[in-house]
Structure 1
Amino acid sequence: MAVLSLHNVDYAIGSHPLLTDVSLHLHRSDRLCLTGRNGTGKSTLLRLASGRLEPDSGQLSKDADVQVAILDQEFDPGMTGSALSYASWADTATPDEPELQAARLHAAEEALTRLSVPFDTVLTSASGGMIRRVMLARVLASRAEVLLLDEPTNHLDIDTVLWLEEYLKRISSRDGTAMIIVTHDRAFARAITTRVAELDRGQLYTAECGIDEFQRRREIMIEQERSVHREFDRKLAEEEVWLRKGVKARRRRNEGRVKRLLEMRETYRNRRQEESSVRLQAGSGLRSGDLVFETEDLSFSYGTEPIVSGLTTTVMAGDRVGVVGPNGCGKTTLLRLLIGDLSPVSGSVYRGTNLQVAYFDQMRALLAPDSTVFENIGDGYDTVESGGKSRHVIAYARDYLFSEADLQKPAGVLSGGETNRLLLAKLFARPSNLLVLDEPSNDLDADTLDLLEELLLDYSGTILLVSHDREFLDNVVTGCLVFSGPATVTEHVGGYSDWRDRIAVQGSDVPESRTAGTGRPGRTGTAALSRPVDRVRKLSFRETQELEALPERIAGCEAEMEEIHQTLADADLYRSDDGGKVQELSARLARLEQESEQLYERWQELLSIEEGQTS
């Protein structure tokens, strides 16, 4: 029996329908991951399920004694008092529920401790990230039968995300707590999901499976939909040609055919068009010097609090380096020291030549909130440089899913995902050879995140990346700078998972190696950071499509080669030809043989990657 259900719900914003005939049934112990593009209505669906919003039609049903707690993206304006009093629901406590209040207090203390929030934090003066963690603690301590969690991993470091995974699984199994979770963190979703639902163009699709299996089914469904649309479009075009012939269409016996054509036109107008994808392309700058950064006994502190102590490291051109550590340890400070925004207290930072820096700031300081999207992208110009070509801002902005109407909006009114897309558009519109990215994956949907990964893997310059997204780090970086203790930074080869695996084997966080000839502990050197890492790589969405298409392409090559072989075997060809036809066919055959060989090699390469990710 469902603990919460939505029945045939419609919801529109103005004249724009956001949800259409949506039904959803949530059962005890369900951990349902709600996916979909930014702006498709995921947060709205959670608010409808919580009762905070009323649907235009349809209904929400649940038993009267079923309690629902929601972690919303928007801050609660009524948050006052201390973190512990708010998280433990002291503001709603009644004398006749002492056991419930005691349980909530205990759960709130555990959650706040694990979320690194002091109990006596004053909410009216706390930072946005701190308030967000207190809101999460309140939901976890609620003892509600249903939890609705909108991006619960935002502002959490990786260790805290790992704790949250186990906590949610524990209360789901022990107490039967049901939950709907919206998250951009793929590793988190993969770890906790028992069911998946996707919002796509106003409609909801559900499946009893995990994230990876759902993604596979989704790709098949999308291709089937495209195939149906292609066949419909072909038939519609044929009927339009027939109608334009004019005379026959006016005969009475053909009136039915005309009526069907009009119905087809209406069906086409009402079709749910496939959503556009973000198209990312970073502008390549001048080639930097081979040496990008070299630090020598670098130290920095805020007052008497040390942040970095005695760091000696080297970053070379083409390195992709992740910076990993808990919240507040100094990751952003280290980035600013490397690029020169801050000066060290002691030690030195050498910066290479010809550096062109594109800095994705976690605080989004590069954006002017009162200026329009157009003004932020163009910086006073109507054109930008993209992929070595000059493009008008309007056309360039479409690649980042900004319409002409969006271009007139002030940047300050954009959603979190839109703000991040705008910052990426602004950064990639200018040539660079060093990308410095501080939490770029926040609020991006899964499809955009996949495309960002591919862009970074293809980027010819150097990358410094701070992220709490484990899968993003694993897929992108070749080495990590890890805050392994107070003010202590060590270097490790590979991504986040490689570092954790190494700790598990070694029993402590020690550096991978020493740089030859220096003898300094904690310094692995660029050769170690940038060498290939032996870890599982998954196929991207584009590579999956390519793998599926390759057998047909190979078969087409072989069929044409066989046809040419048969033609060349015909003696009459040589008697009737002066050599031109034979030469043309022979040249074509040579090209096909080369193409076939290349296709086979690519097929085997993609198959080996696919086998590696499923083994």
Structure 2
Amino acid sequence: MPLITLQNVDYGVGGPLLLDDAQLSIEAGERIALIGRNGAGKSTLLKLIAGELQPDDGEVRREGGVRVARLEQEVPQQAHGQVFDVVAGGLGELGAWLAEHHRLSHAQPLDEAALAAVHARIDQANGWDAQRWVEETLTRLELDGEAAFAGLSGGMKRRVLLARALVSRPDVLLLDEPTNHLDVPSIEWLEGFLKRWAAPGGATALVFVTHDRRFLRALATRIVEIDRGALSSWPGDWDNYLRRREERLHAEAQENARFDRLLAQEEVWIRQGIKARRTRDEGRVRRLKAMRAERAARREQVGNVRMAFADAEQSGRKVIEARAVGFAYPGQPQVVRDFSTVVMRGDRVGLIGANGSGKTTLLRLLLGELAPTSGEVRRGTQLQIAYFDQLRATLREDWNALENVAEGRDFVEVGGRQKHAIGYLQDFLFTPERARAPITRLSGGERNRLLLAKLFAQPSNLLVMDEPTNDLDVETLELLEDLLADYPGTLLLVSHDRDFLDRVVTSTLVMEGEGRVGEYVGGYSDWLRQAAPAAYGASSAARESAPREPAPKPAASPRRKLSYKDARELERLPARIEALEAEVAALTEQMSDPDFYQRGGDAVQAHGAQLARAQAELEAAYARWMELESQGS
């Protein structure tokens, strides 16, 4: 039986409905990725599931006793105190008592009267099991309960808030952009944790929104898309979703074109001469009216952002040269030690490193905003620098979107021609009304698009981008990748989005710890192949999953002849592998049936367990075949 069911849900905030007759069921053991364009209603749907919003029509039904917890995109302002206090806050009033007891029991001198009073309240509420669960959650998430929340990095704050959500022991966990502001080690830790927490066949379910495609591929067992108010469900393979979605959109476009041709023919018929009007079929007239109403109600797909760079002069051939650069803040260990590099015109350089490792410091050294404590940095000639700031500090809060981009001008020059500022912002999906709205009313995705619009309206030949992917939908992200790949100047990019780095950069600078900066050819996956990045902190799972460069082979040892039993096993394995591949394909195909998730919860769980078993057997068969093949003569 589903944990949560949405039946015929409508929800709107003015204009077209965000959700229109939405249907959704969430089963135990599922990890559902919720995707859609910026503004499509993903966060709204999470709030409806959590019970924080009520639908305009329809029903959100939760099975008796189902607990739901939601991790928001932003760190709440009211979160303060020690980590223990923030995590215990997920238990409501009981959590406040536990936090008070924790504070009093660690205070010196000890206030025995106050401690006894709060102890009695917890006794009366049978709350000591909850305290043990708070402490166990802190241990599981590797958190120090005594640390001050305000002093943590953004990534560690997100981990504390995840603990706060988990401490209520939810049956359904809702995560809204959980990877924002996390570094790669934290993202990989979160992937592993959530795989264990919401394992197929288990009792809990996960629903998450993310723009990180690698994170999505690693976790999702099902994909639910919001498109023009409608929900559609897809088996949890991202590439399969992309293929099936293209097929659906192609079929939709063909059907719309057929309908529009028929409507045009009917419009011609209704406007024929006097004789035709006297003899026309009234049923046909009614059908034409219905067709007009249907065409007027059609919701077109949201357009794509159209991006282009403002023209700029070409920089000198050598853009940046660093020689034996070192840097340390007063009284602190060296952030950068004996670092040398040359950045040439047209290079696209990615900066990789854990939060706090010194990426921004290195960037400022290369741009001349900081002077090195040793060595030198030389910058080339005719540089025009444009800077994308992840904190969006370059946007003026007292200006609207139009004022931030146009800065008093009516036109901007992009791609060699002038465009009216309103028209230019429409390329970034801002309506004229939205372009004139106060910037404080813009969503995170809109602010990011606005910053891109402002950035690309500046002539530049050195583009510096610090975490540009946060809050962008996948379509805009892919367009940005294509644009950066064709950028005629030089790019310095800080990002924790592994796919984005792989698709955009031509080399990487990696903060490896103790001031060391490694330089590698290629993107994130290329770095994993070339280095053993233990100093950076990448997970062993990430290193094992990355394709490897061929290692130098030792002298081959004599290959032993297989035993009769092993030889027979090797002979039979190809047929076994073929049968298992067919079983996995059939089970996966059944999951794509629209009625699949309408079955009972036991049936869905059993199907998932059967698929997991078949996949495990297939992997084991492949491993055994490779082992025997390598041993045979």
- Report the TM-score when normalising by structure 1: 0.79
Q: Does 1:273 align with 2:303?
A: no
Aligned to 1:202: 229
Aligned to 1:256: 283
User: How does 1:59-458 map onto structure 2 within 5 Å?
Assistant: 59-88=59-88, 89=90, 92-93=94-95, 94-95=122-123, 96-111=126-141, 113=143, 119-123=145-149, 131-173=157-199, 175-305=202-332, 306-458=334-486
Moved more, 332-341 or 251-260: 251-260
Contact residue 301 and residue 308 of structure 1 kept, 8 A:
yes
Aligned to 1:555: none
Between the aligned partners of 2:420 and 2:534, the Cα distance in structure 1 is 55
Aligned to 1:486: 514
Moved more, 487-496 or 437-446: 487-496
Contact residue 141 and residue 159 of structure 2 kept, 8 A:
no
Contact residue 112 and residue 137 of structure 1 kept, 8 A:
no
Aligned to 2:617: none
> Secondary structure of the residue that 1:405 maps to in structure 2?
helix
Alpha-carbon shift at residue 99 of structure 1 (Å): 3.6
Q: Give deviations 1:333-383, integer Å, cap 9, x for gaps.
A: 211221122222222110011111111011212111110111111121111
Alpha-carbon shift at residue 459 of structure 1 (Å): 0.9
Between the aligned partners of 1:475 and 1:125, the Cα distance in structure 2 is 34
Alpha-carbon shift at residue 534 of structure 1 (Å): 9.9
> Secondary structure of the residue that 1:436 maps to in structure 2?
strand
Contact residue 249 and residue 258 of structure 1 kept, 8 A:
no
Q: Give deviations 1:194-236, integer Å, cap 9, x for gaps.
A: 0000000111001223222111111110111000011111111
Amino acid at match of 1:111: L
Amino acid at match of 1:336: R
Amino acid at match of 1:71: L
> How many equivalent residue pairs?
507
> Secondary structure of the residue that 2:256 maps to in structure 1?
helix
Moved more, 132-141 or 197-206: 132-141
Contact residue 138 and residue 145 of structure 2 kept, 8 A:
no
Between the aligned partners of 1:229 and 1:145, the Cα distance in structure 2 is 42
What is the root-mean-square deviation in Å for CA atoms of aligned residues?
Answer: 2.2
Moved more, 414-423 or 302-311: 302-311
| Identity %, equivalent residues | 49
Alpha-carbon shift at residue 121 of structure 1 (Å): 4.3
Between the aligned partners of 2:531 and 2:166, the Cα distance in structure 1 is 30
Alpha-carbon shift at residue 103 of structure 1 (Å): 2.9
Aligned to 1:497: 525
Gaps in structure 1 of 5+ consecutive residues:
510-532, 536-615
Q: Give deviations 1:396-417, integer Å, cap 9, x for gaps.
A: 1111000000111122321111
Between the aligned partners of 2:52 and 2:258, the Cα distance in structure 1 is 43
> Secondary structure of the residue that 2:391 maps to in structure 1?
coil
Aligned to 1:590: none
Between the aligned partners of 2:150 and 2:317, the Cα distance in structure 1 is 49
> Secondary structure of the residue that 2:186 maps to in structure 1?
helix
User: How does 1:562-577 map onto structure 2 within 5 Å?
Assistant: none
Between the aligned partners of 2:435 and 2:78, the Cα distance in structure 1 is 34
Gaps in structure 2 of 5+ consecutive residues:
96-121, 537-547, 551-633
Q: Which protein, 1 or 2, shows the higher relative CO under an 8 Å CA cutoff with sep ≥ 6?
A: 2
Between the aligned partners of 1:507 and 1:335, the Cα distance in structure 2 is 23
> Secondary structure of the residue that 1:34 maps to in structure 2?
strand
Amino acid at match of 1:247: I
Amino acid at match of 2:39: G
- Report the TM-score when normalising by structure 2: 0.76
Alpha-carbon shift at residue 298 of structure 1 (Å): 1.4
Between the aligned partners of 1:534 and 1:263, the Cα distance in structure 2 is 63
Alpha-carbon shift at residue 301 of structure 1 (Å): 2.2
Amino acid at match of 1:500: L
Q: Give deviations 1:577-612, integer Å, cap 9, x for gaps.
A: xxxxxxxxxxxxxxxxxxxxxxxxxxxxxxxxxxxx
> Secondary structure of the residue that 1:310 maps to in structure 2?
strand
